[in-house]
Amino acid sequence: MTNPLLASFDVVPFDRIEAKHFLPAVEALINDAKSAIDQITQNQDPATFENTLLPLEFSSLHLERVSQCFFNLLSAHTNETLQNEAQHISPLLSNFKNDILMNAPLFERIKSIYNQRETLDITAESHQLLERTYKSFCRNGALLTPEQQEEVRAIDSALSKATLTFGNNVLSETNAFSLNIEDQATLEGLPESFLERAAQKAKEKKLDGYLIGLEFPSYMPLMKFAKNRDLRQNLWLAYGARGAQNNERDNKAIIDQIVTLRQRRAEILGYTNHAEFVLEERMAKSAKNVNDFLGDLAEKARPAAERELEELQNFASEQLEIEQIQPWDQAYFSEGLKKKLFNWDEEKLKEFFPLNQVLTGIFSIAKRLYGLHFEQDTAIPVYHNEVSAYRVFDANGAFKALLYCDFHPRPSKRDGAWMTSFKTQFKTSQENHRPHISIVCNFTHPDNQGIALLTFQEVTTLFHEFGHALHGMLADTHYPSLSGTSVSWDFVELPSQIMENWCFQQESLSLFAKHYKTQEPLPLTYIEQINALKTFQEGLQTLRQIGFATLDMAYHDGQFAGQEVVAFERAVLAPLQLIKHQHPYVMSTAFSHIFQGGYAAGYYSYKWAEVLDADAFSLFEERGIFDPQTAKSFAENILSQGGTEDPMTLYKKFRGREPKNEALLKRAGLLAED
């Protein structure tokens, strides 16, 4: 049978792809790419940008597309076969990457061009490609001895397997837990929509009553609304036990392995630790800068957090005479305090945010800002029947991108929300090849009428991921490795986080926030509540995020050094936790961002990018949130440029100056009063 992955394709032929196709396709395409690189190194002419850098940049394009497809499916719609194949494919790709980056004749040609960089007649974007390519070779072993290179190869192969195992364990642990509750009274306080879904889940498993799981749309409502404190505690402990139960899915030893391998790799390459290696290529530049940034934020957030916790404790004591609030109480009493202070009712607010309506609203906002038009195309093959696909056009009707949307949880999908791509944008002399982008989330499933009502947090999550998608869809660069989200990881969150601001503006909310039954616009009182809530418990939330980032840095800046995971985590987080975790709850063993994803020594970038997004959005606020010139400048200087220039250079082109943190502190309510 012909392997559909080896044929030339534009739209991924999901209707013809099977799991068994990936490994032979990857093996064949690696061989093709190696042949292309051999042609470069065997060229007897002096090395030039045109005969070396250009063919190298495009040498493995088909392989990269197949790899993107494979790893996207592994995250969004996995199965045992894909997971088994990943254990073969990941090391193959890791070894292939090292074959390129440790290819001495190839590096000599690149080095020769790099040494002439001041006299080359090439574009600024081409200079950036040369700079990044040369650095990539140096940072991945080109200057090492053969013995050191072999050790790096072995480390990379081991890391590719270990990070996969970590992610598989988290998914398996999440899916393995379920709680069958037959007495509805145990679920007192939970909304009717939650009970309906839980009852449907139980029915699907041929059980009576209700079935509760650890996937976020099941776990979070229970923590917010369940009056039964013991039930909240049980769920909280189960959520925190994922990957830490001393069973075959335990991740503690995997964490030790991953951190140790990253540390050793950094040392071989001449860095003190993995954080130093990572941050050299980020806006932050050093672990000291990151820790100073986090420490300064923590200092500003802590007084507010202490006041907020005291207020929450007083409220809990009034409600249930609880002497000491516990971690499993925080979301529940926070929800009650919101209701008291702001007359907040999340269930009523959800009625104004049906998913399809919110998505239409996002499309309308993108049209007003960037002239984009979205048309669903049911003829495009998708990898699951819950996925929808859209063709995206600009204001002139020119095709810009494909957009896949995959919104609901299932056992085959990992937790969280993310944007990814199935095809990267790039230009050739004949064509501007447009990108294929995907948004993947885990929102509440539709009810029996097919309506999925989103919490406001889910609304902001969708806007966040759509901001990433815009970064991909509006990409307009020549080289695939510089396109779209191929930017510094502490810059990549700017397009996503700035997009969340349109969730809070009356002018944009009026486009889509309407009652799902009556089409009544979202009342002004709700909009005022939403904006008032932006600073609600912001001190506690900021400390929480700083805790995640601090833990990430501690694992990767040399502090860990093989310590016991649970004790290490507790020691690192203790100064930042106002509600102590003196219980068998572990965060690290399910911290997929840093042990499976790409955020190792980079989790701080969420807070870093908040400074950028608050400062950047303040310009929209000054000029109007749909001001065409401001939107055009953001598209031209940020969204379209990818990694073609230094991120601070791009930011200053848009904002006219470097970012200031006053806008973030003001938005978060953390500015000290005079």
Q: 51-62, pLDDT tens digit by residue?
A: 999 999 999 999
φ, ψ of residue 179 to 5 degrees: the values are: -125, 115
Mean pLDDT, rounded, of the chain: 94
Between CA 170 and CA 215 the distance in angstroms is 11
Q: Is 559 helix (H, G, I), strand (E, B) or coil?
A: coil
* Predicted local distance difference test score (pLDDT) of residue 582: 61
Amino acid letter, 395: A
Residue 93 reports pLDDT greater than 60: yes
* Predicted local distance difference test score (pLDDT) of residue 629: 98
Q: What is the mean pLDDT of residues 91-102?
A: 94
CA distances from 135 to 113, 122, 147, 150 (A): 13, 18, 21, 19
Domain definitions of the chain by residue range: 19-143, 177-240
Between CA 655 and CA 615 the distance in angstroms is 8
Give the model's confidence band at 531: pLDDT under 50 very low, under 70 low, under 90 confident, else very high. very high
Between CA 435 and CA 403 the distance in angstroms is 9
Tens-digit pLDDT profile for residues 341-350: 988 888 899 9
* Choice among 458, 465, 610, 645 that is catalytic: 465
Give the model's confidence band at 447: pLDDT under 50 very low, under 70 low, under 90 confident, else very high. confident
Q: What is the 3-state secondary structure (H, E, C) of 396-444?
A: CCCEEEEEEEECCCCCCCCCCCEEEEEECCEECCCCEECCEEEEECCCC
Output the furthest CA–CA distance in the chain (Å, rounded): 82
Residue 489 reports pLDDT greater than 90: no
Residue 672 reports pLDDT greater than 70: no
CA distances from 414 to 79, 441, 469, 593, 594 (A): 11, 9, 19, 12, 15
Helix (H) or strand (E) holding 433: strand 432-433
Total residue length of the chain = 674
Tokens of 373: 């038009």
Q: What is the mean pLDDT of residues 597-625?
A: 93
* Predicted local distance difference test score (pLDDT) of residue 217: 87
Dihedral over Cα of 479, 484, 489, 490: its sign? positive
φ, ψ of residue 551 to 5 degrees: the values are: -65, -45
Q: Is 402 helix (H, G, I), strand (E, B) or coil?
A: strand
* Predicted local distance difference test score (pLDDT) of residue 674: 41
This prediction has a pTM of 0.88
CB atoms within 10 A of CB 186: 17
Find out whether 225 and 190 touch, Cβ atoms under 8 Å: yes
Nearest to 157 by CA among 88, 104, 106, 103: 88
Q: What is the CA radius of gyration of the chain?
A: 25
* Predicted local distance difference test score (pLDDT) of residue 357: 97
Q: Is 601 helix (H, G, I), strand (E, B) or coil?
A: coil
Give the model's confidence band at 1: pLDDT under 50 very low, under 70 low, under 90 confident, else very high. low
Between CA 457 and CA 306 the distance in angstroms is 24
* Predicted local distance difference test score (pLDDT) of residue 534: 87
Tokens of 553: 């840095």
What homologous superfamily does CATH list for 19-143?
Endopeptidase. Chain P; domain 1 (1.20.1050.40)
Tens-digit pLDDT profile for residues 187-237: 999 999 899 999 999 999 999 999 999 998 899 999 999 999 999 999 999
Tens-digit pLDDT profile for residues 305-329: 999 999 999 999 998 878 889 999 9
Of the listed ranges 104-113, 239-248, 519-528, 578-587, the least confidently predicted one is 578-587
Tokens of 669: 């309510």
CB atoms within 10 A of CB 180: 14
Cβ contacts of residue 438 below 8 Å, gap of 6+? 72, 76, 403, 404, 405, 406, 419, 420, 421, 422
Is 465 assigned a catalytic role?
yes
Tens-digit pLDDT profile for residues 254-310: 999 999 999 999 999 999 999 999 999 888 899 999 999 999 999 999 999 999 999
Between CA 28 and CA 37 the distance in angstroms is 15
Q: What is the mean pLDDT of residues 508-522?
A: 96
φ, ψ of residue 418 to 5 degrees: the values are: -160, 160
Q: Is 7 helix (H, G, I), strand (E, B) or coil?
A: coil
Amino acid letter, 511: L
Nearest to 326 by CA among 385, 248, 387, 240: 240
Find out whether 164 and 87 touch, Cβ atoms under 8 Å: yes
Between CA 518 and CA 526 the distance in angstroms is 16
Q: Using a pLDDT cut of 70, give the percent of the chain over it.
A: 99
CA–chain centroid gap for 603, Å, is 10
